[in-house]
Amino acid sequence: MKIFLKKTINKGSFLFKNFILNKFYKCKIQNNCQIAFNTTVKNSIFEGQNKVGNFSKIETSKLGHYTYCGEFCRLQNVDIGRFVSIGSNVKTCFGAHPVNQEKMHPAFYNPDWKPSSLTNKRYFNNEHKYVYNNYTVKIEDNVWIGDDVNILDGVIIKSGAIIGANSQVRSSIPENAIAYGYPAKIVGYRKIESPQLHS
C-alpha cells in the first residue's frame, strides 16, 4: 500500500468541515467525495465518489469508487471494493489472541509490548488470516452490509454478498450469499435476474 505523506484532496470533493472537527493524516481522497462532521481518516485511499457519515473513523483502508458508509463506523485495515453499501455503526475488529496458550495478553507473545522480559520473542500467527498490503479484512465489489455489524480479522466478504443488520462476521462469506446472525450464518443466496430488454 502506498503511504501518502500529505493529505491529497482532489477537486470536487466536498468535505463538511471545519478542519478542527475533521482530521486527515497521510491520505489520498479522489474526486467528489463527501466526508461528514467529526470524521477521522488516516493512511487511507478513497478512489472517488465516496461518502462517509458523521463520527466515523477510517484508518489504513481503501474505499473503491462509489463505496459509502454511514455514521459511527470504525473501519481499520480493510480493503473495500467498488459500489459497496455500508450501514451505520459498522466495525472491523482488529487483532486476535492465542486462546490455546496459557497467557493471552499481548505482553506475553508480542515483542512490541513492554516490558520485553515478558515476551517469548515470537508472534502469534493466525493461519486463517487474510493479509494483503497491510489489509486484514477484504470486502469485494457490490456488497451490502447492514447497521451494527462487526467484522472480525481475517474475513473476506465476496462480491454480491449481503450481511444483515446486528451481525458478527467471524468467517469468510461466499459470493452472492445472504448471511446474518451472531455469529453470521448463510441463510441463502441471491437470485440474480437477467435484465429484460423491452422492444
Choose among 91, 68, 89, 90: nearest CA to 80: 68
Per residue in 177-197, pLDDT (tens digit) is 999 999 999 999 999 887 776
pTM for the whole structure: 0.77
16 or 44, greater pLDDT: 44
> Under CATH, what is the fold of the domain 8-94+129-189?
UDP N-Acetylglucosamine Acyltransferase; domain 1 (2.160.10)
Tally Cβ neighbours within 10 Å of residue 159. 16
Distance CA(43)–CA(41), nearest Å, equals: 7
Per residue in 89-118, pLDDT (tens digit) is 999 987 777 777 787 777 776 666 655 555
The b/e string for 58-72 (b: 16+ C-beta within 10 A; e otherwise) is: bbbbbbbbbbbbbbb
Mean residue pLDDT of the chain comes to 80
Domain boundaries, the chain: 8-94+129-189
Q: State residue 144's pLDDT score.
A: 98
Choose among 77, 48, 100: nearest CA to 151: 77
